[in-house]
Amino acid sequence: MRCRTHNTPDHTMSTPTTTTEHKAPGFSAIGAAHQPATPGPWHYDANDGRVESDAGTLLAVMQPGGDGGPILTPDEMHANGRLMAAAPTLLVSLRQALARLEHSGEDAAFEIANARFAIRAATGQPEDE
């Protein structure tokens, strides 16, 4: 098998080539300026375990185990890769939902606080921003 992204031999897995792309509608226009992270969308290739940006920047390589730590099952490895690839879209979507919820007039203080906490955790923003 060959990696579709890099046209290189796959030496890590025998899983059929599957690339997962996550892109929210309006992604490039909404939220991208707010994140110092590598701009999305990101993609996960289950064939070689790579998480990459649209520009081809390697962000992570999912591996079943290593460095003496716990060994991931292939299912866990692929789930982690898909979740990482979805991160920019999830962040943009959460910001959009938060903005709508804040202006809805609904009593959603708990949900708003949780969304703000998750956004701060994802972006590294301090508590008072």
Segment 18-52, tens digit of pLDDT: 445 444 433 333 444 454 788 889 999 999 999 99
Summarised one tens digit per residue, pLDDT across range 50-81 is: 999 999 999 999 887 666 777 888 899 999 99
Does residue 118 carry a pLDDT above 80? Answer: yes
| Per-residue b or e along 64-90, where b marks 16 or more CB atoms closer than 10 Å to that residue's CB | eeeeeeeebeeeebbebbbebbbbbbb
At 67 the pLDDT is 67
Q: Confidence class of residue 10 from pLDDT cuts 50, 70 and 90?
A: very low
What tokens appear for 65 in the block? 């185990």
At 54 the pLDDT is 92
The reported pTM is: 0.65
Please state the domain extents for the chain.
Answer: 19-123
Cβ distance 95 to 84 under 8 Å? no
